[in-house]
Structure 1
Amino acid sequence: MTAPRPTFNPARALAVRVLTRVLAGETFAAPALDAALAQARLPARDAGLATHVVYGTLRHAPMLEAALTPLLRGETHPRARALLLAGSFEKLVLGTPPHAVVSEYVGLARGARLAPPGLVNAVLRRVERPAESDETRYALPGWLLEVFRTSYGERAGGVLSNLLEPQPLWLSVTDAGVRSLEAEGHVVEPGPNGVDRVTLARPLRETAAYRKGQAQPINPASLAVVDALGDVAEQRVLDLAGGAGVKAAMLAARGAGVTSVDLMARKHDAARANLGRLGLRADFLTHDLTAPLDVPPALLVLLDAPCTGTGTLRSHPEIKLRLTPGAVGELAALQARMLPNAAALVQPGGLLVYSVCSVTPEEGPEVVRDFLAAHPDFVPEPVPELGVPTVPAGDGVLTVAEGGVDGFFITRLRRAGPASG
């Protein structure tokens, strides 16, 4: 007689597979999880569990590693490590009953052949929260803790705690889109800066509002970068390092004539598709912005530069598992090469907005300080009210990374001379 095949929860199996790849540095969580869920087509409840386990495990990974290290000897296979981290997350953070955690993950280890069941049984029965320190409380390495404390001062404790919470889904939604989402049973709540916090009953891409171009995912702080340009209606705007074109879409929706520039042509393809879905258009150029760009100058230029992403740890927690202090310096050096080339594209009297989704002083205030010292024809000016909380940061502001709002450094730099065009 054939033995019955072991059963296990497909959501947890999917989560462990995704975690294995992310922890190995092969991919980022968002695209890996999206692809896995699209292929598996799990029921909404299971898809939600898989998402919660993946992101929760990554957010708490430094604490979970500290809890597991005393219980493991020698090398642990990456799949076994991912499984033990996920099980520890459920036991130590979610509060899933210990017997249920052991049963579920031993069954998964056996059924999916991800780890020795005996090892999983022994470790998950014994794992406990490590001795509390700032590093385990906030699940961050000490050097990153100091970055947040330096940048946010008395607001740092609230920011650091908030980074461990699940990230809301933020959507910029038309009135018709709100009605459509609510008619389908989704929950839409007003959020900061006119961006809504949305709880979906099924994947976003399956909603009518998304398909009809009535909803665009964007973090309120990212939209604040666009706000920093002021009134863009009927203005030509250069969107530098435009990536997948989300800010270009927001600018186009406000009536700007947008030219988006990025190093990677494949990002233009994604941006064109998204703009088409929204019924908008922009022009695109592929160019390495560490070299001068030969296009006519504009009155409004935005450089949202490539950065470490330390302001997005709530939505991209894997960053903190990979980032090193040395990488901060490398990105700051890259930004320092790009900023003068962006500035050269600003007409006299025009405005340059420089932003990074990072909270490190090296990538924000210090890059701008050094730029201004070498370019006396540019002067900083106050950043207007942005619709999200901010703290001062050098010659700009830093959005406060609480409540699911990302941390962005934003500054406005005005070029001397009379405006023209």
Structure 2
Amino acid sequence: MTASRPTFNPARALAVRVLTRVLTGETFAAPALDAALAEARLPARDAGLATHLVYGTLRYVLLLDAALTPLLRGETPPKARALLLAGAFEKLVLGTPPHAVVSEYVNVARMARLASPALVNAVLRRVARPAETEETRYALPGWLIDVFRRAYGERAEAVLADQLQPQPLWLSLSSAGVRSLEAEGSVVEPGPQGVDRVVLARPLRESAAYRCGQAQPINPASMAVVDALGDVEGRRVLDLAGGAGVKAALLAARGARVTSVDVIARKHEAARANLKRLGLRADLLTHDLTQPLDLPPAPLVLLDAPCTGTGTLRAHPEIKLRLTPEAVEEMAALQARLLPNAAAAVAPGGVLVYSVCSVTRQEGERVLRDFLATHPEFTPEAVPGLEVPHVPAGEGVLTVPEAGLDGFFIARLRRTA
């Protein structure tokens, strides 16, 4: 009689492979996971497990490392480290029964050849929650904890805890999109800034609403940046550092005549494809915004500047593993070069919206303060249409990254001459 061969859930092996690439700095989680899932074609339940393991492990990695380090000697190979982190996440955070965790990950190690089964067995049997410190409680380095405390004061503890929660799916939907998703069995709950919180019955790209251009993923805090421009119908708008053109598409949907500018040409390919899916159009321009723009001044200009992304740690938890205080200063210096060139593109009497998806003072409050000190022709105005929770931040506001929202610095300026 032949002994049965041990089995394992392929979702765990996929998650470990993705985690290995992300933790070694090769890639970011979202594109790596999307590509791996597209190739593997796992059933929906297994794809959900792989997604939860990747993002959950990355959110808690500082706590998990503190738990694993006393049990390891010497340098742990990247694949073995990723596997042990995922197993520790299941055992210590998800509460998967310890015997099941050990069995599953030993089988993954053996059959997918990702680590020594004996090492996995020994470590996952013994791993336990480490002594609590601020860094293990919030799974953040101390300097980033200080950033959030400076930004949100008495609200900081709730904000920090919320960064460890899964990111919900936010969609800007047409009425037809809502009906279509609900007909498929998805749950649609209205949220701030006209953006709906959605629990899907099937993968987003397989939904009729997405395929028919009735759905656009966007966080409500990001939508608040678009809303800060006010009424755009029939008006010319420059969308600077526009990336993949999501904000350009939303502005075009409101009737604006949009030119989206970015330094990376391949991002225009994604923008073009998304605009086509939505049945919209915008002009796309490749340009380095550290240099002046050769375009006629526009009445409305949006600079959603490249930043450290500290306001998006829930959705992009790998950021906290790579970011340094020095990188914050470098990014603030870049933004300080971009903002005057964006300002020069604003017509007299026009509006400039400056935003970053970061909560550091250097990138938001300080960049704007220094700009206003040398550009008296710009006057700060209240940011209109804000439905998301927010706190004051110098001459702008910071959205509060709780309940699935991102943290954005947003400022609206009027050119008076």
TM-score, normalised by the number of residues in structure 2: 0.99
Q: What is the CA distance between 1:7 and its match in structure 2?
A: 1.8
**Residue in 1 aligned with 2:210?**
210
Distance 2:196 2:404 in 1: 12
Say if 1:241 and 1:262, in contact at 8 Å, map to a contact too: yes
Q: Within 2, Cα distance between the matches of 1:407 and 1:107?
A: 40
Offset of 1:379 from its aligned partner? 1.4
Once residues 80 and 380 of structure 1 are traced to their aligned partners in structure 2, the CA distance between those partners, rounded to angstroms, is 52
Within 1, Cα distance between the matches of 2:98 and 2:2? 31
Say whether the 8 Å CA contact 1:399–1:406 is kept in structure 2.
yes
Provide the C-alpha distance between the structure 2 equivalents of 1:145 and 1:264, rounded to a whole number of angstroms: 32
- Kept in 2, the 8 Å contact 1:61–1:85? The answer is yes
Residue 233 of structure 2 is matched in structure 1 by 233
What is the rounded CA distance, in whole Å, between the counterparts of 1:376 and 1:174 in structure 2?
Answer: 41
1:327-347 CA distance string (max 9 Å, x none): 000000000000000000001
Alpha-carbon distance in 1 for matches of 2:385, 2:265: 34
AA partner of residue 25 (structure 2):
G
1:223 and 2:223 are equivalent in the alignment? yes
Q: Name the counterpart of 1:61.
A: 61
Report 1:9-408 matches (<5 A): 9-408=9-408
The amino acid that maps onto 2:36 is A
Q: Whole-Å Cα distance in 2 between the matches of residues 109 and 187 of structure 1? A: 37
The alignment yields a C-alpha RMSD, in angstroms, of: 1.0
> Deviations 1:27-61 (Å, cap 9, x if unpaired)?
11011111111111111110110000000000000
Sort the Cα spacing of 1:3 and 1:26 in 2 relative to 1 into closer, same or farther, 3 A. Answer: farther
User: How far apart are residue 2 of structure 1 and its match?
Assistant: 8.3
Distance across 2 between alignment mates of 1:198 and 1:382: 30
Deviation at 1:201, TM superposition (A): 2.2
- Contact (CA 8 Å) 1:59, 1:314: kept in 2 or not? yes
**Alpha-carbon offset, residue 6 of structure 1:** 3.6
The separation in 1 between residues aligned to 2:18 and 2:186, in whole angstroms, is 27
Cα deviations by residue, 1:87-131 (Å, 9 ceiling, x for unpaired): 000000000011110111011111111111111011101111111
The whole-number CA distance in structure 2 between the counterparts of 1:275 and 1:254 is 13
Q: Secondary structure at the match of 2:244?
A: coil
User: 2:80 aligns to what SS in structure 1?
Assistant: helix
SS of 2:410's partner is strand
Q: Aligned with 1:364: secondary structure?
A: helix
Question: What is the rounded CA distance, in whole Å, between the counterparts of 1:202 and 1:41 in structure 2?
Answer: 13
C-alpha displacement at 1:3, in angstroms?
7.1
Distance 1:3 1:416 in 2: 81
In structure 2, give the amino acid aligned to 1:125: R
Give the distance between the partners of 2:375 and 2:318, measured in 1 at CA. Answer: 37
What stretches of structure 1 of length at least 5 have no aligned partner?
Answer: none
Q: Which secondary structure does the structure 1 equivalent of 2:359 belong to? A: coil
Residues 217-273 of structure 1: per-residue CA shift (max 9 Å, x gap): 000000000000000011100000000000001100111000000001111111011
Residue 171 of structure 1 deviates from its aligned partner by: 0.4
Give the ranges of 4+ consecutive aligned residues of structure 1 lying more than 6 Å apart after TM superposition: none
**One-letter amino acid of the structure 2 residue matched with residue 34 of structure 1:** D
SS at match of 1:352: strand
User: 3-state DSSP class of the match of 2:259?
Assistant: strand
Q: Which residue identity lines up with residue 230 of structure 1 in the other structure?
A: G
What SS does the aligned partner of 2:113 have? coil
Task: Tell me whether 1:8 sits opposite 2:45 in the alignment.
Answer: no
Q: Distance in 1 between matches of 2:94 and 2:222?
A: 30
Q: For 2:35, give the aligned amino acid.
A: A
How far residue 194 of structure 1 moved from its aligned partner, in angstroms, is 1.2
Contact 1:44 1:201 in 2 (8 A): no
Unaligned runs of at least 5 residues, structure 2: none
Q: Secondary structure at the residue paired with 1:121? A: helix
Cα distance in 2 for residues equivalent to 1:278 and 1:77: 45
Shift of 1:4: 5.4
